[in-house]
Amino acid sequence: MTEYVLSPAPQASVAVANSDARFAVRRIFCVGRNYAAHAREMGHDPDRDPPFFFTKPADAVVDDNSTIPYPAQTANFHFEAELVVAIGTGGRNIAEADSLSHVWGYAIGNDLTRRDLQGAARDMGRPWDWGKAFDRSAPCGPVHTVAKVGHPSKGSISLTVNDEVKQDADLNELIWSIPEVISILSHSMELQPGDLIYSGTPAGVGPLKSGDVCKVSIVGLGTLTTTIAAPLG
Ligand code: MN
């Protein structure tokens, strides 16, 4: 057995609906600009340029009903409601027609963003990591199995802050569908069991502050609740 000089990190994981077992998270991929109205609000043409991706560390995941501190070094901390795809079977160069057979289940995600740091990085041609891939930046609700929920492709995706609706869209507004996203991603990276794909957010993104309660709902998948606490000292 391999000996390590430091104890290996705990396995990052998210809950599974109606189960005590958890879904071990390998990597987190995120799609940028996948709803036309959100692309427009971020100052881009919502054409069908190829989708682009960024990543977050696996241990950025946060369970449903968590309270997280307002993150460091931002004054513009944003919510982003997203459908999350949980990969069960890995693969390279997956054909679009085969894509959905690689999915284990679906969850609700909140792609938390330090928008000011993301914008500054974009303007300077620097990586997005400091805006996107920070600690506790990936709340994720329980994963629902394909057997239970099928493959959601239409229906409501919405987000509230303190019960006020901020995002309200339909999954059928995705520019790149889930099968397309899986296929395209797999032509660039070999997908592995445990990978999560945050599929992009609709229009209406905006700020969170300490004390806010943010709820993301997707038809058939329930609600993901995240509460924002004071910054860490
Ligand atoms: Mn996003």
Residue spans of the domains in the chain: they are 13-229
Six-digit token string for 30: 């995120």
What is the distance between the terminal CA atoms of the chain, rounded to a whole angstrom? 40
- What was the pLDDT predicted at 14? 98
Q: Which residues of the chain fall below pLDDT 50?
A: none
In b/e form, how buried is each residue of 108-134, taking b as 16+ CB within 10 angstroms? bbbbbbbbbbbbebeeeeeebeebbbb
CA of 7 to the centre of ligand 1 (A): 32
- What was the pLDDT predicted at 146? 98
CA of 5 to the centre of ligand 1 (A): 36
- What was the pLDDT predicted at 4? 97
Alpha carbon distances (Å) from 108 to 41, 60, 102, 111, 212: 22, 15, 18, 10, 18
13-229: CATH topology: Fumarylacetoacetate hydrolase; domain 2 (3.90.850)
- What was the pLDDT predicted at 44? 82
CA of 30 to the centre of ligand 1 (A): 6
Give me the torsion for CA of 193, 22, 106, 36, rounded to 10°: -80
CA of 83 to the centre of ligand 1 (A): 10
- What was the pLDDT predicted at 87? 98
The pTM of this model reads 0.96
